[in-house]
Structures are given as C-alpha cells and as structure tokens.
Amino acid sequence: MNQILVLSEDIDYFSDISNTIQALDHVEIHTFNHSLELINYYLTNFAQLVILDLDVLRSETFEMIQILRSLHTNTKIVLFLSSENMPICSEALTFGVLSYQIKPVSRERTLEIISSTFQIEIPDL
C-alpha cells in the first residue's frame, strides 16, 4: 500500500483528493493538523510522499524536513505554500524537497503529483 502523509489545515481539500483516489486501492492518504502527529505516525509507517503546508509549519519547516529525511531518505517531499513563504521555500529546496506548489493548488495539480510519484493512472485526470 502506497501512503501519502499530509500536514495541512485544509482537511476538506485532502478529503476530496482521498475520495478521488480511494477507488485505486493502492494509495492511502493520512492527513494531520500538527507536525508531531505526522512524525509520530511516520516513525512506524513509511510514506513514499509527504505533502507539507508551509503555512502550517512556518518556523518548523527545516526541522521537519530534517527529521523526515533522517527517518527515511527515499520519501519525496512536496511543499504547498502561499507566496509570502517563498523565501522559506527557496532554502527548503536545498534540503532535498522534490517540488513546491503555490496556493491555491488545483485539485488536478495535486492528482498529477500523486500520479507521477506513484506512476499510476488516475481516472479523473
């Protein structure tokens, strides 16, 4: 089972994404509101993709990326952020972040990220 971990306050958005890919059976999304909850889950559950909302993390961004990398180096990390957090994002890219998306991120774009990460076809695309 491929897992995606998401740190975001936008639960409805990721619930919609989860409902879209639910029929695929081999991708599961876990959404967290707090970074410690995500880390706690990640300690015992490998995820191929982690989506981090920089607007939630703010000053914890670099620490979070370093913790994730220290636990599993192969996880792909994608950042979602508002334009005012671009300076943080620029530096985060040096920590091995795969890509970033400026909010608002379309549903289609998020599905494309999932599709390309797992090399799967998503019917709604």
**Residues 93-122 pLDDT 10s:** 888 898 999 999 999 999 999 999 999 888
pTM comes to: 0.95
56 falls within a domain = no
Q: 86 in a domain, yes or no?
A: no
- DSSP per-residue string spanning the chain: -EEEEEE-S-HHHHHHHHHHHGGGSSEEEEEESSHHHHHHHHHHS--SEEEEEHHHHGGGHHHHHHHHHHH-TT-EEEEEE-GGGHHHHHHHGGGT--EEEESSPPHHHHHHHHHHHHT---TT-
Q: Is residue 122 situated within a structural domain? A: no
Is 21 contained in some domain?
A: yes
As for how many domains the chain has, the answer is 1
Do residues 33 and 60 lie in contact, with contact meaning Cβ atoms separated by under 8 Å? no
Q: Is 19 contained in some domain?
A: yes
Asked whether residue 60 is domain-assigned, the answer is no
The answer to the question of residue 108 being in a domain is: no
Domain of residue 38 covers 1-48
What is the mean pLDDT for each group of 10 consecutive residues in the chain (125 residues)?
A: 95 93 84 96 96 92 94 95 90 88 96 94 77
Q: Is residue 67 part of a domain?
A: no
